[in-house]
Amino acid sequence: MTPARGEPEALVGPDAVLRALADPHRRQILRLVQHSELPAGQIAAHFDLTQQAVSQHLTVLKRAGLLAERRDGTRRLYSLRSESLEPLRTLLDEFWPDALARLKQSVERAHPRTERRRRT
């Protein structure tokens, strides 16, 4: 078995991050580790879930690049990689421009103007 490292796997992007964030348990895990590094057992103690379920959540978060994992003896410590949220910030910034572009399309399709009246 290869040793776990702090680096996330290569497949990271807004989709993976959003899927990871779509679950309330996983959001709570991120809250727990946003300021302090915690071992898996201590994270699991906050939930009414099996160790296995918590471990699966940790794996999803790790794969999305949201969690850094570090070995300390036999323990694995987890912490938030806040830089992984930057693509989402961009996505949020694009939400309204995208929505307004659809608004424009919708209005102009329903109320077409003739070619010669179009402004430049």
**Cα-flanking dihedrals φ and ψ of residue 72, to 5°?**
-135, 95
116 in contact with other proteins (CB under 8 A): no
Query: Residues 22, 45, 49, 53: which binds other proteins (CB under 8 A)?
Result: 22
**Dmax of the chain from CA atoms?**
75
Among 3, 48, 118, 120, binds other proteins (CB under 8 A): 118
x-or-dash pattern for other proteins, window 65-94, by CB under 8 A?
-----------------x--xx-xx-xxxx
Interaction between residue 18 and other proteins (CB under 8 A): yes
Size of the site for other proteins (CB under 8 A): 37
CB 78 to other proteins: min, Å: 16
Report the C-alpha gap between 14 and 12 in whole angstroms.
7
DSSP state of 19: H
Other CB atoms within 10 Å distance of the CB of residue 37: 14
